[in-house]
């Protein structure tokens, strides 16, 4: 006996999913300052939001290092979500503009490579400034 839990069915196009993930990676690598800003803001909000759970200041201060480390981890994980959304939108727009998923994946791969080179050059420039 087969029981349908979800009353509707949907298909997930694997080519679109791959293209969205590639574009998400390219945007995540290329937009380093935005990535840092999003993670910082999420971490600040998590630290602020946890304050109401503690009744005493002593208990709040005694658990501060562990909580802040945990909130930094959660912020870095949840900071990926905006890039996944932007990657899906970029893949969809590229797919509509060029008329095929192969173009969206090819352009996503090229963008990912270019953004990686840009990030490496930017990192090398920061290391060079630190040496001076």
- Each domain of the chain, given as residue ranges in start order, spans 33-79, 81-123
- Region at 9 (left for phi over 0; alpha for psi -120 to 50; beta for the rest): beta
d(CA 100, CA 94): 8
Q: Check whether 1 has a pLDDT greater than 60.
A: no
Residues 79-107 have pLDDT tens digits of 999 999 999 999 999 999 988 778 889 99
- Percentage of the chain lying above the pLDDT 90 cut: 51
Model pTM score: 0.79
Whole-number average pLDDT of the chain:
87
pLDDT of residue 84: 96
């Amino acid at each position: 006996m087969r029981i349908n839990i979800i009353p509707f069915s949907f298909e997930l196009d694997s080519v679109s999913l791959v293209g969205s993930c590639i574009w998400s990676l390219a945007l995540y690598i290329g937009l380093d300052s935005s990535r840092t800003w999003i993670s910082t803001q999420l971490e600040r909000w998590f630290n602020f939001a946890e304050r109401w759970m503690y009744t005493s200041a002593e208990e709040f201060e005694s658990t501060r290092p562990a909580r802040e480390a945990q909130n930094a981890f959660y912020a870095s994980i949840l900071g990926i979500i905006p890039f996944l959304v932007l990657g899906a939108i970029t893949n969809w727009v590229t797919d509509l503009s060029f008329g095929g998923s192969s173009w969206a994946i090819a352009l996503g791969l090229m963008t990912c490579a270019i953004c990686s080179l840009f990030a490496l050059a930017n990192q090398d420039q920061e290391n060079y400034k630190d040496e001076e």
